[in-house]
Copies of this chain bind each other. A is one copy, B any other.
Amino acid sequence: MCTPQDNLNADYQLAQARLADAGLLIRLGVPGLYGLSGVFEGIVEAFEGLITRHSRALQPKVMRFPPAINRADYLRTTHIENFPDLLGSVHSFMGNEREHTRLLRQRDAGEEWTTALSPSQLMLTPAACYPLYPTVTGTLPANGLLVDLRSFVFRHEPSADPARMQFFRQREFVRLGSAEQALNHRDQWLALGQDIYRALGLDVRVVVANDPFFGRSGRIMAAAQTEQVLKYELVTMVASAQVPTAIASCNCHLDHFGESFGIHTVEGHIAHTSCIGFGLERTTLALLFKHGFDPNHWPNEVKNVLAL
Q: How large is the interface on A (under 10, 10 to 19, 20 to 34, 35 or more residues)?
A: 35 or more
Q: How many copies does the complex hold?
A: 2
Interface hit among A80-88, A173-181, A255-263:
A80-88
Q: Mark A47-82, 1 if CB is under 8 A from B, else 0.
A: 000000000000001111111111111010000110
Q: A87-B93, A89-B114, A93-B85 are in contact. Are A214 and B26 (CB under 8 A)?
A: no
Which residues of chain A have a CB within 8 Å of any CB of chain B?
Answer: 26, 28-30, 33-38, 40-41, 61-73, 75, 80-81, 84-95, 97, 100, 103-104, 107, 112-114, 117, 119-122, 124, 131, 134-135, 148, 152, 154, 156, 158, 165-168, 214-216
Could you write out 24 A-B pairs with CB less than 8 Å apart?
Answer: A28-B69, A28-B131, A28-B135, A29-B134, A30-B122, A34-B66, A36-B64, A38-B62, A66-B166, A80-B103, A80-B113, A84-B93, A84-B95, A84-B100, A88-B90, A88-B91, A88-B120, A90-B91, A90-B156, A91-B91, A100-B214, A114-B119, A120-B156, A152-B152
